[in-house]
Structure 1
């Protein structure tokens, strides 16, 4: 039954693409109208971006978003699209709430090279002369904190789930009581492309995560993992590589179909 409905829908889209695009547009407008503060959206687009960029309204600002600081937000994407950036707007229903306050505390530089979603309750904290760079198609989950005193780079198509912490600083210095040596409190963080960070993960200063990796929930991650190759499964406290050759997929329907086909083949063999 569901397959028949899908086939009919696909045929209707092919015959009447204009109808599909119109209905999709109405749905998007209604969706954003409920969650976007239009006055804030207009104000901050023209406050942060050039007129040429701001005219296309690349930034959608939710009702409970607070901006603090005198830093800059840079949009360096090759193409500018409406609402390609969203702060405190998009959420996971029944898990996240738009009532959670989202804070953008920026005294440095916040750069977006493509699409990005900052979920409700998340906090971006950029100190003076520090930088956070999102390379595109990024997601920061609800109540997560990304704080930089130096430099954090989050690769293309990478993101974190809810209640995560990504810091490039310890905020305080440590001193060796015998030698008197003072250890540096900050070090750059690099998160590669297509990295998925599970909920409640803590990532500390100096961390380097290779492309395609998955970090398991509740892990405490410190140091560089780039020598281990790519597509790593990282887990634990302290975190270590527990498996290789694995990566995250969002192709749920294709994965489920492949799983069903495999089960059918196994039954036929029996």
Structure 2
């Protein structure tokens, strides 16, 4: 951790849950990767299932995946963080997950986090099929992403059965505002802003990049709009990435 100042080193050392950090890394990775401690856990977290697989598709670095990090205005934890991992989780760079998040990846399901993916406070990911979050996809507090309805439904006239699951793809440089719900079969384009309290359940990629969508159900609100990613990158990387 030579790239960090002394005070920040001490702050990180104190806040890391070293028991869960060591257990997870040496259980989920071969020794040559585990010894680098790519995954850090902060605070309380429950491992309800770790029978799945974690793949790092990026240079392996110390603490590149932080679970339970403090980076928002919320400073208190309800101690409800939980991981249920039976399927595959692929990490494609630095990933930042806030307090009290829930990550569920079912058996044979696939979940992918791009570089600088971020989940805010109390975000829930429920993956039974496939969920992909692109690079710099940032999901604000109390949002949820679920690729399944979890219950079978059918047409009462034709008896046609409807699929209860459908893959989700969140594009690069997406900003999902607080308390949004993203359901099965959702696809968003790159450089997309999703307004607070929105409900998404279809393919929005044909609307093009640099858009604002929102509502219940979500629809196009504004074109030619973008979060100032370039203006924020330096600050986010400085505050969120642990450098060796």
Give TM-score, length-normalised by structure 2. 0.90
Task: Tell me whether 55-64 or 160-169 shows the greater mean CA deviation.
Answer: 55-64
Residue 5 of structure 2: SS of its match in structure 1?
Answer: helix
CA positional deviation for 1:91: 3.4
- Structure 1's unaligned 5+ residue stretches are 1-20, 255-270
Of residues 76, 88, 97 in structure 1, which corresponds to 2:57? 76
Q: 2:113 and 2:55 mapped to 1: Cα distance?
A: 10
2:24 is the alignment partner of 1:44 = yes
CA positional deviation for 1:111: 1.1
CA positional deviation for 1:245: 1.2
Aligned length, in residue pairs: 232
What root-mean-square deviation, in Å, do the aligned CA atoms of Structure 1 and Structure 2 show?
Answer: 1.9
Q: 1:83 and 1:23 mapped to 2: Cα distance?
A: 13
* Number of the residue aligned with 1:148: 127
* Number of the residue aligned with 1:196: 175
Q: For residues 203-214 of structure 1, what are the structure 2 equivalents within 5 Å?
A: 203-214=182-193
Q: For residues 148-227 of structure 1, what are the structure 2 equivalents within 5 Å?
A: 148-227=127-206
**Structure 1: which 4+ aligned runs deviate by more than 4 Å?**
none
1:36–1:89 contact (8 Å) kept in structure 2: no
1:90–1:117 contact (8 Å) kept in structure 2: no
* Number of the residue aligned with 1:105: 84
Give TM-score, length-normalised by structure 1. 0.81
Larger Rg: 1
Q: 2:24 and 2:15 mapped to 1: Cα distance?
A: 16
* Number of the residue aligned with 1:63: 43
Q: 1:175 and 1:187 mapped to 2: Cα distance?
A: 16
* Number of the residue aligned with 1:85: 65
* Number of the residue aligned with 1:34: 14
CA change 1:145–1:253 in 2 (3 A) is closer
Structure with the largest fraction of helix: 1
